[in-house]
Structure 1
Amino acid sequence: MDEKVEINKEERPLMVTIRCITYNHEPYIRQCLEGFIMQKTNFRFEAIVHDDASTDETAKIIREYAEKYPDIIKPIFETENQYSKLDGSIQRIMSEHIHGKYVAMCEGDDYWIDPLKLQKQVDFLESNPEYSMCAHNAFVFYQQKNDVCLFNKTSYSGELPVHDAIHAWKIPTASILVLSEVAKEYPSWLAVIYSGDYSLILRTLLKGKIYLISDIMSVYRISYVGYSASALYKGKNIFMLEQRLILLESFLRGTGGMFAMEIESKISSLKEEIVFQECKDNRKILRLLFTPIFYKKLLNKIRRKC
């Protein structure tokens, strides 16, 4: 009887490949992996857990889970850090290991809290083929402050407007379930940038619509550990703004002007934000270098520039 159940289990379709990238996430990786193995589904899924040559005990913990749950946890252990190459290596490596119809995202310091998360998202996308991505709301957990808030303050279920997809940050990484053909795509116009989430959203819009579920099913951790968005200084810093600007300009050229009005509007706002950030940084330096009277004179010049 047990043997028959196991065979039936293996015959279920492989619907989802979970893409988990981790680096020096020893304090958090267990919580992340537990979120995978607790999923209750009527389909098979796998978790490709990519350890990018961690220097702590992250790889050891991943091996422990891979041995205990070999049908789910499929590890990749790097001996050389791929992220630091900034050449798209991780994207290519992960794309080679995607086997499911859909790809779910979760970095090693984030985690899932709903055992039906994958089932709910797959059910929606299977019933609504005009959609290419399904995401949901999440908690934001500030590790150092031990504080929690909602990722999206206004929670709703429905289609994500193109304007919001381009102009706002509505989609937590660990909430994403997207068609694998979109996740694996690496078009020639795609600039190599720090964060791949935004480029994935843009590529998804070219394929179909994006749906948001109001359910809170994951936790986005701001921890300053590893090299997640939180670790490399989350916020509107100049580097991130410039990278996003490069991506949008490449997108316009590469797609022949798709969503041109929204993209050009976003490019304009990014340029204004970059000038503002540069001015703000200059003010901090000036306060340290000059006397208060001289600083005020220079500040007036900067304000006229901004």
Structure 2
Amino acid sequence: MTYNHENYIRDAIESVLMQVTNFEYELLIGEDCSTDDTMRIVEEYAQKHPDKIRVITSEHNVGARENSVRLHSESIGKYVAICEGDDYWLDPYKLQKQVDYLEANPDCTFCFHNAYLVRGTNKDTDTKRSLIKKDNNYFSKDKTKFNAGELALFGFIPTSSFIYRRELMDHPPNWYYSAVVRDNSLKLITTSHGYAHFIDENLGVYRIEVKDSIMDKWKKEGNTKEKQIERNKGFVELLDNFNEYSKYKYDNEIKQAKIPFEVLNLGLEGNKKKLKSSEYKEYIGSMNMKQRIIFKGNIHFPKSLALLVKVKSLL
């Protein structure tokens, strides 16, 4: 998926074309009527590689959600791997490594890997910082297999690492189309039909501080208490919908995964009484100093915290 990615799209396309595999694959590019030079760059590559690249577009902008849906409907492969237009892959054997595991383990329905973080147009990866750190209380460091409930607790997973069995998303539940973020929904839905496998190698890059990204849009909307509460409720609703979809098979894990969003909303709403209840008190007590500062900052000084994060990233 790409929109106004003229500064990044070459990296994304080149990283897909460099893949070395013993199977055929195609690159579908959903170009959503960019207002910059993205379309020209995409067409340039499509003309050079007509056997590899198919461009999916329309006469008007449809938005990221619909762009994602139409791309999936056009896909014909056994597996779907995601690399959004502002991300890119690092390892030429990335696809082969993931597909080899999926082929050897039919019960695995979703596979992901570690990745480096890159800011804006910068291309220097911080080799000391992997995005995924299994440093929470839920998992041992050598764990590589996760069910859908565990994945709900896992935390952030870079979308540039996603690969899943296509058929599982051919007819997703209706709530998938209205979920606050589709990435979270997709990983939970696909994993619930088997299990997820984690490859602890930095096979790709996840880019932040990109104009027109979902995070950029959220910033433009304003980081008001009302907007934060609305988004947090969206994440809780997503988890509730998935809980019902999976027939409450992962009920305990889903309840735990909801707590951070519920706690933040209670803080934003000033509901100190409910925050002291046992179900939330334990979670707050488990926070380290950094987490406590961020929690308090989100509640009392959201704009100042956002500015601090921005200054820190620039430094």
> Which band: TM-score by shorter chain?
0.7 to 0.9
The alpha-carbon deviation at position 277 of structure 1 amounts to: 4.5
1:60 matched residue in structure 2:
40
CA distance in 2, matches of 1:72, 1:230: 31
Work out whether residues 102 and 178 of structure 1, in 8 Å CA contact, stay in contact via their aligned partners in 2. yes
CA distance in 2, matches of 1:249, 1:170: 18
Name the aligned partner's letter for residue 95 of structure 1: H
1:199 matched residue in structure 2:
185
Work out whether residues 176 and 182 of structure 2, in 8 Å CA contact, stay in contact via their aligned partners in 1. no
CA distance in 1, matches of 2:195, 2:99: 15
2:234 matched residue in structure 1:
243
Q: Which has the higher strand share?
A: 1
Which is further off, 238-247 or 157-166? 157-166
Matched residue pairs, number? Answer: 264
CA distance in 2, matches of 1:172, 1:163: 18
The alpha-carbon deviation at position 191 of structure 1 amounts to: 5.3
CA distance in 1, matches of 2:132, 2:269: 28
Work out whether residues 36 and 47 of structure 1, in 8 Å CA contact, stay in contact via their aligned partners in 2. yes
Name the aligned partner's letter for residue 125 of structure 1: L
Q: For 1:167, what is the secondary structure of its paired residue?
A: helix
> What's the RMSD between the two structures over aligned residues?
2.8
Which is further off, 179-188 or 201-210? 179-188
Work out whether residues 42 and 119 of structure 1, in 8 Å CA contact, stay in contact via their aligned partners in 2. yes
**Gap change, CA 1:118 and 1:277, over 3 Å in 2:** farther
CA distance in 1, matches of 2:303, 2:78: 54
CA distance in 2, matches of 1:198, 1:270: 14
Q: Percent identity?
A: 33
2:89 matched residue in structure 1:
112
Which is further off, 257-266 or 216-225? 257-266
CA distance in 2, matches of 1:130, 1:156: 20
Name the aligned partner's letter for residue 265 of structure 2: I
Name the aligned partner's letter for residue 223 of structure 1: E
**Gap change, CA 1:136 and 1:68, over 3 Å in 2:** same
**Gap change, CA 1:188 and 1:162, over 3 Å in 2:** closer
CA distance in 2, matches of 1:213, 1:34: 22
1:298 matched residue in structure 2:
none
Q: For 2:176, what is the secondary structure of its paired residue?
A: coil
1:259 matched residue in structure 2:
250
Segments of structure 2 that go 5 or more residues without pairing to the other structure are 135-140, 271-296, 305-315
Q: For 1:185, what is the secondary structure of its paired residue?
A: coil
1:34 matched residue in structure 2:
14
Work out whether residues 30 and 68 of structure 2, in 8 Å CA contact, stay in contact via their aligned partners in 1. no
Segments of structure 1 that go 5 or more residues without pairing to the other structure are 1-20, 288-306
CA distance in 1, matches of 2:142, 2:219: 29
